[in-house]
Amino acid sequence: DAGITQSPRHKVTETGTPVTLRCHQTENHRYMYWYRQDPGHGLRLIHYSYGVKDTDKGEVSDGYSVSRSKTEDFLLTLESATSSQTSVYFCAISAVGASTWANEQFFGPGTRLTVL
Amino acid sequence: AQTVTQSQPEMSVQEAETVTLSCTYDTSESDYYLFWYKQPPSRQMILVIRQEAYKQQNATENRFSVNFQKAAKSFSLKISDSQLGDAAMYFCAYRSGTLGGSQGNLIFGKGTKLSVKP
């Protein structure tokens, strides 16, 4: 299994509070992604990173920010959590390259976030 | 923009039988990759099978195979000899063949929940 961990695995917080989710990898992969999963929507991309300090927005980036100061860590921050951000959050990594295997994304175990 | 559609929110199959999950996609690209991911109740996303668009031969992985129809933009997953452990959400996903930038992102369908009856 790819070495990807997410912390915390579960979190309950209140509306208006800041929340930071952490993704840590031991694979030294260049690309990292944050997705959210909601019933009826599948997985939707929030932000992604293509290198240290290189990040870009995904489909549902409003209300989220990210940072990547080291290859192995990708942080997702909800500056002021809202109930609409209650979801399961997945981190993924990818070694984008020319070979087929390098196009696969490996996923972390997910974080269930509840905003009351 | 590319889209992925899974038209079957739920499917059911008898143990040991065969089931096919449907997936269609829309793209103007000629080079891309398609994937099927399995998500059991544990929530872990597990890659089941992948297909490169430039390959005409359908991918197979043990009991899992795909029917890739490039002209029709269809990518269905066939599960043979279904087992109780196959019960899960199944997601179809698309990735551009262009390397780097946002083209590396996966675009997912909404998923199909598969139940396996003993």
User: B94 has which bridge partners?
Assistant: B34, B107
Q: Is the dihedral of CA B30, B89, A89, B49 positive or negative?
A: negative
Residue B118 C-alpha from the chain's centroid: 24
pLDDT of residue B97: 77
A33 interaction partners in chain B (CB closer than 8 Å): 105-106
Lowest mean pLDDT across A15-19, A34-38, A58-62, A96-100:
A96-100
Q: What pLDDT score was predicted for residue B98? A: 72
Give the Cα separation of B93 and B95 in Å (integer). 7
**Segment B40-64 mean pLDDT:** 92
Q: Which residues contact A20 (CB under 8 A, 6 or more apart)?
A: A75, A76, A77, A78
Instruction: Spell out the domains of chain B, with CATH numbers in brackets.
Output: 3-98+107-117 (2.60.40.10)
Which tens digit of pLDDT belongs to each residue from B92-114? 999 887 766 566 788 999 999 99
Domain total of chain A? 1
Contact between residue B88 and residue B41 where contact means Cβ atoms under 8 Å apart: yes
Residue A37's domain is classified under what CATH number?
A: 2.60.40.10
pLDDT tens track for A54-86: 999 998 999 999 999 999 999 999 999 999 999
For residues A37-46, give the mean pLDDT: 91
Domain range for A45 is: 4-115
How far is it, in rounded angstroms, from Cα B41 to Cα B32? 29
Confirm if A57 and A42 have CB atoms less than 8 A apart.
Answer: no
d(CA A37, CA A88): 5
Residue numbers of A between 7 and 46 with CB closer than 8 Å to B = 31, 33, 40-45
Q: What is the DSSP letter of A16?
A: T
